[in-house]
């Protein structure tokens, strides 16, 4: 693949570069594109030659990838190493008489079982994710077989002819062949908020220095802000600028990965200390360094919750599936963890706290009297504005349906054809449209009150024009402030005669203020109740809006959102680096913001230690949605916005978010149960092994037994996603990190070691000598010594399993287990059957194959007493732990 780098190492494919400098005739000729578009056979040929339009992240998520991940992981690799070494020592190097494949076969069976279970679980999670993703897949207009059709953007091939509309996300790198007032945001590639106008001309031979200078190319990932266009696909998938650099450009939701990394490092530190100690102790006391190495490897596996990825996937996938039933599509299942951790939710006001449909209540002149001319000029601006449609334009255009107005508005549009436009952007905060107006052309602007007024030098009242004074903005507010305080949204309309037929930004000054439009934006009936529920879940609501401060404050007061601390975009710009984190932390309402300022607020809140979600549906919300820890949008949003979100609400209701937060916390709590309980229990076992390795003349448990114990216990834990979670645990946001994991392991792990050592003593000094007829040393060289070892290892195998499974019930809740907090039926059933299965296993031929043997009834009497004492001690320790640290998981 030939590429050329423009800057920052981000490459533009050679095809795109070549055809940017050539006319469209050459493009159509070289790619054999006719007016019919591509035929089906051309599509297949192009896909085979140039590849599919899938980015690396999606391409990797295949059945083959999941199969490879199920069988190639640290746990599987260690099992394979043990099997290989066992094969060499027990088969290749052994004499014909002593060859034994048993250990090799058992380890390979464990490898197969763990891989199949993980693969099955991952495929189940993948089916859930794929089903939900298909519901919100982005589509594009493409010409094939002589007609325009909508297809999934992933089906595009090089040579396809596509159409672009406002709100679309550019699906591939395109050479534009037609453009009408086409304005594009390339912020996803460049990080800059500038809006660029694109055309279909030929690029000059002068080498472009930035992406913005490629005026006839639309890059994948860019957003169409206004206008329409057509183009030919020249690069797809990894060949695009966005695809080739997505690993470095994308704003990753890395809270999940950081938390997982934090947990991994805690376990690695414990292993780095304990594993060498086990290896050296076993090597010195047993004299067999190869066996010591194998045992140390098994201990490394024993300390690690091997099936952690599978348990996490199971918990998150269950949460995602539950959300799917509640009209919520979770595109990225890691977002379920974000829901669980989220302690601040930022929302855009319109359509979230207020209704989707605005009503135009008043159209007024500069003194507040009804003005038909203001409405008509606003109508011309809205009907010709090709940017992303919004609620305000929809409310204005709905006026043509008023009785007796339809014919007038049709006549108005016919007599004032459009000449040019500059679409709305969030820096200027207004839209400009140039129309023919009889003897002179008219430049009409409609937008934010203050922004439009600052561009005006005159005002018009009853057909007469007068100069505006220096206090023009204050004069305007004297007329409209009462409406703003009532929660109404007010826009200004202005115009100026213009001789030119093309529009430039320099013309946007010296306007004549014509009047105002006032819209009623009523709060949703369910909004106040939803805000209260979120606050009860300790999720702080922050309102981030582009509306006027007084409008935002009025709405928030009605909904019970605090308004004592507010910030406007202008005030935000004045804050120093030291002041900004403090003021942003305190404020609850942010008004008159640009998209860039919304991102600034999110980053500051994240820097203050918060997990931040953002709910929005407009193109102005896209940067904030991408930047947030959990980006949330709605099904009616533009494709570009839905593409950037992690979660799509099929019903725009904050009550759905409350359910999402609860499901996220449930999934999060069940993952935390598995990690903390398993890691602390394993840590206790390893401590016991360290002690036993020093004092025992044999290994306290065979490598294959230790691995089997760990594997089967982890498989029992796969039922945890279906466990009940106490309301107290889900009442607050949960922290996803290893910060408290080490403390939990150090506190509860050694308690199990005390009873392990008690079991060792009972087995070594009491049970085994009485059954075998002598001490270990006295039985040297006899068959009974092997029976002594088998009895000892079986005894500890069962004690470890009983304590590990039962401690799951004790530490899964802060309350009294079984009485104050009952586990779910699946958890109770599976764990009890697990204990029964493991106990019966020791009496079967399968158990004998791995060195286990039947134990006498006296042992089970000891086991019941020892386990009961252990559970009692852990209950007391849990009470003390809760008093000191105030939370368990």
d(CA 722, CA 720): 5
In whole angstroms, what is the distance from residue 481 CA to residue 479 CA?
Answer: 6
Would you name the residues annotated as active-site residues? 348
CA atoms within 13 A on the CB side of 624: 32
Count of helices and strands (H, E) across the chain? 35, 25
Give the span between the Cα atoms of 333 and 128, in whole angstroms.
9
Compute and round to an integer the Cα radius of gyration of the chain: 34
Q: Beta strand pairing status for 430-435 and 10-13?
A: unpaired
- Rounded to a whole number of angstroms, the distance between the first and last alpha carbons of the chain is 51
Cα 677 from Cα 748, distance rounded (Å): 9
Contact 399, 408 (CB under 8 A): no
Question: Residue 46 belongs to what H/E stretch?
Answer: helix 40-50
Instruction: Give every CB contact of residue 785 below 8 A, 6+ residues apart in sequence.
Output: 772, 776, 779
Cβ burial, residue 165 (10 Å; 0-12/13-18/19+): middle
Which of 121, 129, 576 is closest to 307 using CA atoms?
121
Q: Which residues pair with 589 in a beta bridge?
A: 543, 566
What SS3 state is found at 759? helix
> 706 φ, ψ to 5°?
-60, -45
Determine the Cα–Cα distance for residues 234 and 225; give it in Å rounded to an integer: 22
Whole-angstrom distance, CA of residue 242 vs CA of residue 55: 9
Structural contact between residues 659 and 323, judged by C-beta atoms closer than 8 angstroms:
yes
Distance CA 268, CA 701 (A): 23
Distances (CA, A) of 731 to 438, 484, 614: 66, 37, 20
Residue 694 DSSP one-character state:
H
With contact defined as beta carbons under 8 Å apart, do 463 and 448 qualify?
Answer: no
């Amino acid at each position: 693949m030939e590429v050329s780098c423009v800057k920052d190492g981000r490459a533009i494919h050679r095809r795109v570069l070549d055809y940017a400098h050539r006319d469209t005739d050459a493009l159509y000729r070289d790619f054999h594109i006719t007016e019919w578009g591509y035929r089906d056979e051309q599509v297949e040929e192009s896909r085979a030659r140039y590849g599919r339009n899938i980015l690396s992240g999606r391409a990797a998520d295949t059945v083959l990838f999941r199969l490879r991940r199920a069988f190639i992981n640290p746990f599987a690799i260690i099992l394979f190493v043990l099997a290989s070494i066992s094969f060499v020592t027990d088969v290749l190097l052994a004499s014909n008489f002593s060859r034994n494949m048993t250990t090799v076969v058992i380890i390979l069976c464990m490898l197969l079982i763990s891989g199949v279970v993980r693969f099955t679980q991952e495929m189940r999670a993948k089916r859930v994710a794929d089903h939900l993703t298909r519901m919100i897949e982005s589509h594009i207009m493409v010409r094939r077989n002589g007609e325009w059709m909508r297809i999934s953007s992933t089906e595009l091939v090089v040579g396809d002819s596509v159409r672009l509309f406002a709100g679309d996300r550019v699906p591939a790198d395109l050479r534009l062949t037609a453009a009408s007032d086409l304005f594009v945001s390339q912020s996803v590639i460049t990080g800059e908020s500038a809006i660029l106008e694109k055309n279909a001309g030929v690029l000059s031979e002068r080498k472009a220095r930035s992406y913005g200078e490629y005026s006839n190319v639309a890059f994948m990932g860019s957003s169409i802000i206004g206008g329409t266009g057509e183009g030919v696909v020249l690069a797809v998938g990894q060949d695009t600028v966005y695809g080739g650099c997505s690993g470095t450009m994308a704003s990753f939701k890395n809270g999940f990965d950081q938390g997982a990394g934090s947990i991994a490092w805690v376990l690695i530190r414990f292993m780095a200390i304990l594993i060498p100690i086990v290896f050296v102790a076993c090597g010195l006391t047993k004299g067999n360094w190869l066996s010591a190495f194998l045992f140390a490897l098994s201990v490394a596996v024993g300390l690690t919750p091997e099936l952690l990825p599978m348990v996490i996937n199971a918990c998150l996938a269950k949460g995602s599936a539950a959300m799917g039933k509640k009209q919520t599509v979770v595109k990225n299942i890691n977002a379920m963890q974000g829901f669980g951790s989220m302690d601040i939710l930022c929302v855009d006001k319109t359509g979230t706290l207020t209704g989707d449909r605005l009503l135009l209540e008043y159209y007024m002149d500069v003194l507040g009297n009804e003005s038909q001319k203001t409405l008509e000029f606003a109508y011309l601006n809205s009907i010709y504005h090709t940017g992303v449609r919004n609620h305000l334009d929809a409310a204005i255009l709905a006026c043509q349906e008023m009785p007796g107005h339809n014919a007038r508005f049709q006549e108005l549009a016919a007599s004032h054809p459009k000449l040019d436009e500059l679409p709305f952007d969030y820096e200027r905060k207004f839209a400009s449209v140039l129309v023919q107006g009889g003897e002179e052309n008219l430049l009409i602007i409609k937008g934010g009150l203050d922004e439009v007024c600052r561009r005006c030098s005159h005002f018009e009242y009853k057909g007469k024009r007068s100069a505006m004074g220096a206090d023009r903005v204050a004069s305007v507010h004297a007329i409209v402030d009462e409406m703003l305080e009532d929660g109404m949204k007010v826009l200004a309309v202005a115009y100026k005669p213009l001789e030119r037929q093309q529009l430039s930004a320099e013309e946007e000054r010296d306007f004549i203020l014509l009047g105002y439009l006032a819209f009623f934006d009523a709060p949703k009936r369910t909004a106040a109740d939803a805000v209260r529920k979120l606050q009860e879940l300790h999720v702080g609501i922050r309102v981030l809006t582009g509306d006027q401060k007084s409008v935002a404050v009025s709405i928030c007061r009605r909904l019970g959102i605090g308004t004592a601390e507010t910030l406007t975009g202008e005030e935000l710009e004045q804050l120093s680096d030291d002041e900004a984190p403090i003021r942003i932390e305190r404020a609850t309402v942010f008004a008159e913001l640009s998209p860039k300022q919304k991102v600034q607020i999110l980053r500051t809140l994240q820097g203050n230690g918060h997990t931040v979600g953002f709910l929005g549906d407009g193109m102005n919300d896209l940067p904030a949605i991408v930047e947030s820890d959990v980006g949330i949008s709605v099904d009616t949003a533009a494709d570009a916005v839905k593409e950037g979100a992690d979660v799509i609400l099929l019903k725009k209701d904050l009550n759905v978010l409350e359910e999402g937060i609860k499901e996220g916390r449930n999934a999060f709590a069940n993952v935390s149960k598995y990690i903390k309980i398993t890691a602390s229990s394993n840590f206790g076992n390893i401590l016991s092994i360290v002690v036993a390795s020093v004092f025992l003349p044999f290994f306290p448990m065979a490598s294959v037994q230790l691995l089997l114990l760990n594997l089967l216990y982890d498989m029992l834990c796969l039922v945890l996603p279906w466990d009940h979670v106490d309301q107290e645990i889900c009442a607050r946001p949960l922290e996803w990190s290893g910060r408290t994991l080490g403390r939990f392991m150090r506190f509860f792990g050694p308690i199990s070691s005390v009873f392990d050592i008690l079991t060792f003593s009972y087995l070594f000094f009491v049970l085994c000598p009485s059954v075998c007829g002598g001490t270990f040393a006295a039985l040297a060289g006899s068959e009974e010594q092997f029976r002594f070892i088998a009895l000892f290892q079986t005894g500890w195998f069962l004690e470890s399993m009983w304590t590990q499974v039962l401690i799951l019930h004790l530490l899964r809740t802060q309350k009294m287990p079984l009485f104050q907090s009952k586990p779910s039926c699946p958890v109770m059933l599976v764990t009890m059957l697990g204990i029964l299965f493991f106990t019966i296993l020791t009496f079967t031929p399968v158990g004998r194959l791995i060195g286990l043997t039947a134990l006498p009834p006296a042992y089970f009497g000891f086991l019941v007493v020892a386990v009961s004492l252990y559970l009692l001690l852990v209950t007391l320790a849990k009470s003390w732990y809760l008093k000191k640290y105030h939370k368990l998981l």
